[in-house]
Amino acid sequence: YARGTVTAFAPFDARADAEALRKAMKGIGTDEETVLTILTTRNNAQRQEIASAFKTLFGRDLVDDLKSELTGKFETLMVSLMRPAYIFDAHALKHAIKGAGTNEKVLTEILASRTPAEVQNIKQVYQQEYEANLEDKITGETSGHFQRLLVVLLQANRDPDGGVDEALVEQDAQVLFRAGELKWGTDEEKFITILGTRSVSHLRRVFDKYMTISGFQIEETIDRETSGDLEKLLLAVVKCIRSVPAYFAETLYYSMKGAGTDDDTLIRVMVSRSEVDLLDIRREFRKNFAKSLYQMIQKDTSGDYRKALLLLCGGDDD
């Protein structure tokens, strides 16, 4: 991926970084500036090397030190940056289905936006880290058509992208039209199967064809014909088929729009996309919301938390 805002730092010296971090957190008070500058400008692989050097040099756990020295949202952000990239999604899902109540928003965001290969990896890591089957955990906490679509996405069997068969495009568009707009009540299963298993390039053509046949965007139909968690998940899948960066730009926008900030979402997206496609997300943000991601973070957050997020953002687009 070359579209992240965070790349490998050079010249990199894990030992020197570990020493600087130890000095920043030792004694009375913490030098937050040093902590945030180092952790937001090194990529995840380098942060793991720093943690390892930190333990070797001082016999201390870097994450434990961060937790004891920092507080609030800033602490959450720094600790999130220290989580190994391959564990990040598995950890977020574990917390979404742990304890009382399920965080459907997290399940929706991660499973709608990750590639089949990424989903396979998440399932494997989940099993290794938590000695539990992710699908079993999710089916235990969800129900109905929402659960079924999550299970379809967890199979990670979406058709690979290849040549698009126009006859099948026409057929799928007609099936969706009959299952939604033309039907009294909705045949959710048809939506789940088609949106959960067809290839990305095929579905993009289906959406165009659907518009021609019905006079509606597929999103409008989903909005009218479904509700609740299923509606949100179907819409997320459609948006990610159209453009993953545009989906995340919208997710970030709504995490900060209006009164109060959904910091969990803001942190999760900024950290998980910082080495993947945050440059593209920034571009979509600017295009769709008439302001830059940088400006919105600046306006909506404060203190060291803001400084760190702005460094991850990697610049303004105005």
Q: Does domain 14-82 have CATH number 1.10.220.10?
A: yes
Q: What is the pLDDT of residue 185?
A: 67
pLDDT (tens digit per residue) in 5-39: 999 999 999 999 999 999 999 988 899 999 999 99
Question: How much is the pLDDT for 134?
Answer: 98
Nearest by Cα to 103 from 270, 264, 248, 271:
264
pLDDT attached to residue 1: 55
Q: What is the pLDDT of residue 24?
A: 98
Tokens 């509700």 correspond to what residue? 227
Query: Residue 173 pLDDT more than 70?
Result: yes
* DSSP category for residue 43: -
pLDDT (tens digit per residue) in 214-236: 999 999 999 999 999 999 999 99
For the chain, give every domain's residue range: 14-82, 85-155, 166-242, 244-313
Query: Does the pLDDT value for residue 101 go beyond 90?
Result: no
Indicate whether 259 pLDDT > 90. Answer: no
Alpha helices in 180-261 (DSSP H): 188-197, 200-214, 218-225, 228-242, 244-256
Query: Average model confidence (pLDDT) for the chain?
Result: 96
Q: How confident is the model at residue 317 (pLDDT cuts 50, 70, 90)?
A: confident
Q: What is the DSSP string of 80-104?
A: HHHS-HHHHHHHHHHHHTSSSS--H
> CA torsion, points 314, 84, 51, 14, in degrees to nearest 10?
-50
d(CA 70, CA 81): 14
Task: Give the right CATH number for 166-242 from 3.40.50.300, 3.40.50.11740, 1.10.220.10, 3.30.420.40.
Answer: 1.10.220.10
CATH superfamily of 85-155: Annexin (1.10.220.10)
**Given this chain, do its domains 85-155 and 166-242 carry the same CATH topology?**
yes
Question: Residue 199's pLDDT is what?
Answer: 97
pTM for this model (two decimals): 0.95
Length of the chain: 318
